[in-house]
Amino acid sequence: MSVGETIMQERFRMFRRAGGNFYSRDKITGRSESLGTSERTQAKQLLAARNQAAAQPQLNRTMAKAYLSAKSPDLLTRTWADLMEHYTASGVESTRKRKATAFRSRPFALLRGVTLMDTEAAHFLAVLQHERTGNSTHHYLRRLHNYALHLGWLLMPVMADAAWPEVRRRKFAAITQEEHYRIVEREAMLERKLYYEMLWETGGSQSDIAALHWNQIDLGNETIRFVRRKLEGKESGGESLLRIGPCIRRLLDQLPQSGWLFPRLSTWSSDSRSSEFCRRCRMLGITGKSLHSYRYAWAQRARAAGMPEREAMNHLGHESRAVHAAYAGGAQVAVLPLEFYEAQREQKVIQFEQAAAPPTASASHR
């Protein structure tokens, strides 16, 4: 059967119940619906209108495919699995690993075999409404959709922004000083104890701090300089420059004086370090905290202490003010009274004494 014959097949057929109105039945879904009339001529006209309305989009799509096949045959055969493989190949190793894990999940299995050109909103909604769908699925589906548009593999969006379901974003909580002290006090391994202390003092990510090496430390200039591990390979951005204060210097004096600062932890995976920290939190009855909570804690401490936002962003390696605001948003900021600023202003006023007028000519000759 040719494509034209397939298009011209009527999707709806008409039948009539005894003594009543005419009905149309959808050959695809099997659903019946009343045409609202008992007159055959009028019913045939309504049925023809429905068949024409159903055939036109399919005809338009078939014609579009014919034009596209002449331009690029791959556009008609690419599936979402092909796009997932292409998208997963970009980024640093940790990013590639997260993408691959997300795309192996059950919700994405519903989409892998679908060709991009035949994708409809129903395909996306099936993924987003799957029982195993969480924020990660929503996040990576949006990114995958946008990536296909940027490549030109999708000619138009599958769903408009307003049609995407709302996501309940999980709020990350900063670790409190009291919780940090309890964790450090109960930690028996000196290397992990100093590792948690370094996270508290620097606000660095768990991978960046675990991978610190003495070749990144300049004691003469009292700085620690490193590139964020998740941003390695980028042309710019992601570099952190930390000043060594008395607290960090005290920690450095207790760590190995050459090579890796944390020789054992640097060989652990991020999952292993996270699991060990979560185990310690469970033992202490601390809930909702992870190693990443140290970054939130540092950002909020900096804001509460009045550190300029740009300086705090440089310290944490944040390029976006919006990202930094999300980290520091939970800070409890105590505003100084107005009289403090008024007193500061008065102290900064410079009093100029009026210089004595030079003697006049007549007075000088007296």
Q: Name the H helices within 134-245.
A: 135-151, 177-186, 190-202, 206-210
- Judge whether 175 and 294 are in contact, CB under 8 Å: yes
User: Cα–chain-centroid distance for residue 261?
Assistant: 30
Q: Where are the domains of the chain?
A: 3-71, 76-163, 177-328
pLDDT in tens, 204-235: 888 889 999 999 999 888 888 887 766 655 55
- What percent of the chain has pLDDT above 90? 31
In this structure, the number of other CB atoms found within 10 A of the CB of residue 140 comes to 21
- Considering 18-22, 193-197, 334-338, the range whose residues carry the highest mean pLDDT is 193-197
Query: Quick one: pLDDT at residue 178?
Result: 94
Tokens of 158: 């599958």
How confident is the model over 177-196, as a mean pLDDT?
A: 94
Which of 127-141, 184-198, 330-344 shows the lowest per-residue confidence on average (mean pLDDT)? 330-344
pLDDT at residue 1, rounded to an integer: 39
Q: What pLDDT score was predicted for residue 173?
A: 83
How would residue 332 be classed by pLDDT, with cut points 50, 70 and 90? low
Q: Note the pLDDT of residue 81.
A: 93
pLDDT reported for residue 359: 52
Architecture in CATH of 76-163 = Orthogonal Bundle (1.10)
pLDDT above 70 covers a percentage of the chain that reads 78
Q: Which residue has the higher pLDDT, 319 or 116?
A: 116
Q: Specify the pTM.
A: 0.57
Residue-wise DSSP of 343-360: HHHHHHPPPPPPPPPPPP
Q: Is pLDDT of 44 > 50?
A: yes
Given the candidates 3.20.20.80, 1.10.10.10, 1.10.443.10, 3.40.50.2300, the CATH classification of the domain at 177-328 is: 1.10.443.10
How many CA within 13 A on the CB side of residue 138? 15
Residue 121 and residue 242: Cα distance in Å, rounded?
48
Confidence at residue 113, expressed as pLDDT on a 0 to 100 scale: 92
In this predicted structure, the answer to whether residue 88 has a pLDDT above a threshold of 70 is yes
The predicted model gives 71-88 an average pLDDT of 84
